Chains A and B, each alone.
Chain A
Amino acid sequence: MPRDAPALSAAGAAARTRHILPRDAGWYGLLLPAFLLMTVLYVAPILQVLAISVTEPVPGFGNYERLFTNAGVQRVIGTTLRICLITTAVALLLGYVLSYVITLATPRAQRWWLLAVLVPLWISVLVRAFAWVTLLRRQGLVNEGLQAVGLIEEPLRLVWNEFGIVIGMVHYMVPYAVLPMLAAMREIDPRLLAAARGLGASRFAVFSRVFLPLSAPGLVAAGVLVFIFSLGFYITPAILGGGKTLMAAEWIKLQILDLVRWGMGAMLATVLVVTILVTLAIFSRVVDLRRVFGGGH
């Protein structure tokens, strides 16, 4: 999924190269292993899941009816959407500021900033989740530090709730928010910003009337990317939520592995997949705005 970000700008180029390659079936033969791997091991199981959701325990749409009748399912979906929206909003805000700073930095500083943004991506999500637990728990560094300086008397409940989940997810998502936005911001001609000032715009007007609209496609791309990614989060909410706050992925695991209600688990999994596909469909239309905005010459 993160690879979609650079692909945005590369899509046009890829479409052009396709005609350059010889129209020889032999070349497509090279794609076969990857194609088989994708269909047999990825698409087929997904279709099977979809099938289970309408066949177990009895054939029909009984599982989907629960979406409208079962308060537990509704609560999980509500929690998931709420956490994902908050995560997306916070990650976008932090990522935007970061991208803005990186874009305006010197090339040398840019390299260091980028490294700092990318390093967390190479650390296991498990390690990072546990690191947050040790920082945020009652006797953690944050609570003890705040108590030591006298800001609080009782430790704050920073983890094993939605707050902890959001912190962990935002931390994970910021690099994914930065990459598409940075790509969009780098395409902005710095002379446009100078021109805006020369024409009488204050620094704020330069940002709000020129920089922000020109970086909007990146902002939208990053938003969709982070939101879709957040929907399927499993490890981070499982650890930082402490089993009290259930999100979709963990609920599915609970249904299938612990309660052995395959139908219900498969139903929510299908809902997730459909939600992601719908979001992507909307996303692809929004990205076309880049052409409308004249960004793709």
Chain B
Amino acid sequence: MSAAAGHALELRGLSKRYGGFTAVDAVSLRVERGQFLTLLGPSGSGKTTILMAIAGFVAPSEGAVLLDRRDITALPPERRDFGMVFQGYALFPHMTVAENVAFPLRVRGMPRAERDAKVRAALDLVQLSRFADRRPSQLSGGQQQRVALARALVFDPALLLLDEPLSALDKKLRAELQEELKALHRRVGRTFVNVTHDQEEALSLSDRVAILNYGRLVQIGAPEVLYEQPRTRFVADFLGKSNFLHGTVREVRPDGMALQAGATRLVQAVEGAHPAPGTPALLSLRPEKIVLLAEDEGAENEVDGTIAAWAYLGAGYSLAVRTRDLGEIRVALPAWRAPITPREGLPVRLGWAADAAVPVLEDADAA
């Protein structure tokens, strides 16, 4: 398993229609060598269909799949040489762990001695050498997942495809295996394509995340970019939590703009295209970027409100603050040394910087 042996994958205008239903709609994207890309989206967003098209199980209606610029759209799955970890792992119940891992080598006709050495190395990689002679049914969920990984990597695949690899595990184990998976990706240096509906998993594992909705690619980028600069309301809403503030553009300057929402005036930093005065604008504001202002404190944006509801979450409080012009605003307040003790009806003053929020497009406009 030499490092940096990954391959680059490209999708060009990939579409898949089932009768009148469009599961995947003209998706184009590139995964560079050795990169970890996650396809993220709600169920029915077409992410699994895209993965299956990459794997060769689904024939695209239009478009092409390219591996290192070679068109592989017509190649059957068994000739693509892609490792795949299936949802639920799909380990062969009639084979031992070692036989499962040896399977891809066996069907390639590798001589026994070479095969045994590779199987041992793959099991070492996932720290399961002790379990080589067990049946999959005798292993825990996490161990099964690692067998599936070893089996998918043992034949030095051009690409590793993962279909919701962690969804069958409980929360704590999932977090552990997330770290393991990330470390494994670094160790083997291969190109990984992962599918998940879990945004936390996508953010923590990936070099790049592609966000899909209704079969369309909405935005692709590094996790930080997607979180900090969501292009549309859907992306902001799907990745983490967000408040959405509606206003009308009043004034535009080179470094920002002023918005009017009822009697409230907001200032907002703007990068790139500036909207025209008089047009409606939508801002995405993360709950953790809002602070509670003390009497003598000020901020670029200040809004008065009262606590309508609150919840204690251990690390912090989640507040729902009712405001006159901006509706209900969610605020994440660190619990440690919190400036207030939340209670319903308590008047508070919210503050945030001009670059805390991001202007986003309504999903209909983005399409």
Closest Cβ of chain B to A39, distance in Å, is 41
Of chain B, the residue at the smallest CB distance from A192 is: B90
Closest Cβ of chain B to A263, distance in Å, is 49
Contact A195 B93 (CB under 8 A): no
Is A151 an interface residue when CB atoms closer than 8 A count as contact? no
Is B136 an interface residue when CB atoms closer than 8 A count as contact? yes
Contact A200 B104 (CB under 8 A): yes
Contact A200 B90 (CB under 8 A): no
Contact B92 A200 (CB under 8 A): no
Is A214 an interface residue when CB atoms closer than 8 A count as contact? yes
Contact B87 A199 (CB under 8 A): no
A200 with B136: in contact, given A191-B87, A194-B57, A205-B107 (CB under 8 Å)?
A: no
Contact A200 B81 (CB under 8 A): yes
- For chain B, give the interface size range: 20 to 34
Distance between Cα atoms of A209 and B95 in the complex (Å): 10
Contact A199 B94 (CB under 8 A): no
Contact B135 A202 (CB under 8 A): no
Q: Which of B56, B92, B152 contacts A192 (CB 8 A)?
A: B92
Is B68 an interface residue when CB atoms closer than 8 A count as contact? no
Distance between Cα atoms of A201 and B107 in the complex (Å): 5
Distance between Cα atoms of A200 and B107 in the complex (Å): 7
Contact B94 A214 (CB under 8 A): yes
Residues of B within 8 A of A195 (CB): 84, 86, 90, 92
Is B193 an interface residue when CB atoms closer than 8 A count as contact? no
Distance between Cα atoms of A210 and B108 in the complex (Å): 15
Closest Cβ of chain A to B74, distance in Å, is 15
- For chain A, give the interface size range: 20 to 34
Is A154 an interface residue when CB atoms closer than 8 A count as contact? no
Is A107 an interface residue when CB atoms closer than 8 A count as contact? no
Contact with A along B116-135 (1 / 0, CB 8 A): 00000000000000000001
Distance between Cα atoms of A187 and B151 in the complex (Å): 23
Closest Cβ of chain A to B256, distance in Å, is 51
Distance between Cα atoms of A205 and B77 in the complex (Å): 13
Is B224 an interface residue when CB atoms closer than 8 A count as contact? no
Q: Which of A194, A199, A202, A295 contacts B151 (CB 8 A)?
A: A199
Contact B103 A196 (CB under 8 A): yes
CB-contacts of A59-82 with B (<8 A)? none
Distance between Cα atoms of A200 and B94 in the complex (Å): 18
Q: Which of A199, A214, A293, A297 contacts B107 (CB 8 A)?
A: A199
Contact A293 B155 (CB under 8 A): no
Is A189 an interface residue when CB atoms closer than 8 A count as contact? yes
Contact A198 B135 (CB under 8 A): no
Contact A293 B94 (CB under 8 A): yes
Residues of B within 8 A of A293 (CB): 93-94
Distance between Cα atoms of A195 and B52 in the complex (Å): 11
Is A294 an interface residue when CB atoms closer than 8 A count as contact? yes
Of chain A, the residue at the smallest CB distance from B84 is: A198
Residues of A within 8 A of B87 (CB): 191
Distance between Cα atoms of A202 and B108 in the complex (Å): 9
Contact A198 B107 (CB under 8 A): no
Closest Cβ of chain A to B94, distance in Å, is 5
Is B36 an interface residue when CB atoms closer than 8 A count as contact? no
Distance between Cα atoms of A179 and B323 in the complex (Å): 68
Distance between Cα atoms of A102 and B154 in the complex (Å): 34
Of chain A, the residue at the smallest CB distance from B79 is: A200
A201 with B78: in contact, given A194-B90, A209-B107 (CB under 8 Å)?
A: yes
Contact B86 A200 (CB under 8 A): no
- In this complex, which of A199, A210, A293, A297 has the most chain B Cβ atoms within 10 angstroms of its Cβ? A199
Contact A191 B90 (CB under 8 A): yes
Is B189 an interface residue when CB atoms closer than 8 A count as contact? no
Of chain A, the residue at the smallest CB distance from B57 is: A194
Contact B77 A198 (CB under 8 A): yes
Is A145 an interface residue when CB atoms closer than 8 A count as contact? no
Is A244 an interface residue when CB atoms closer than 8 A count as contact? no
Of chain A, the residue at the smallest CB distance from B161 is: A198
Q: Which of A199, A201, A209, A294 contacts B137 (CB 8 A)?
A: A294
Is B42 an interface residue when CB atoms closer than 8 A count as contact? no
- In this complex, which of B81, B94, B136 has the most chain A Cβ atoms within 10 angstroms of its Cβ? B94
Is A140 an interface residue when CB atoms closer than 8 A count as contact? no
Is A197 an interface residue when CB atoms closer than 8 A count as contact? yes
CB-contacts of B204-261 with A (<8 A)? none
Distance between Cα atoms of A181 and B288 in the complex (Å): 59
Closest Cβ of chain B to A104, distance in Å, is 15
Closest Cβ of chain A to B135, distance in Å, is 5
Contact B93 A199 (CB under 8 A): no
Q: List 17 A-B contacts (CB under 8 A).
A: A189-B90, A191-B86, A191-B87, A194-B57, A194-B90, A195-B84, A196-B103, A198-B55, A198-B56, A199-B78, A201-B78, A201-B107, A209-B103, A209-B106, A294-B136, A294-B137, A295-B94
Which 8 residue pairs are nearest across A and B when measured between Cβ atoms?
Answer: A294-B93, A195-B90, A294-B137, A199-B104, A201-B107, A198-B84, A191-B90, A293-B94
Interface residues of B (CB under 8 A from A): 55-57, 76-79, 81-84, 86-88, 90, 92-94, 103-104, 106-108, 135-137, 151-152, 155, 161
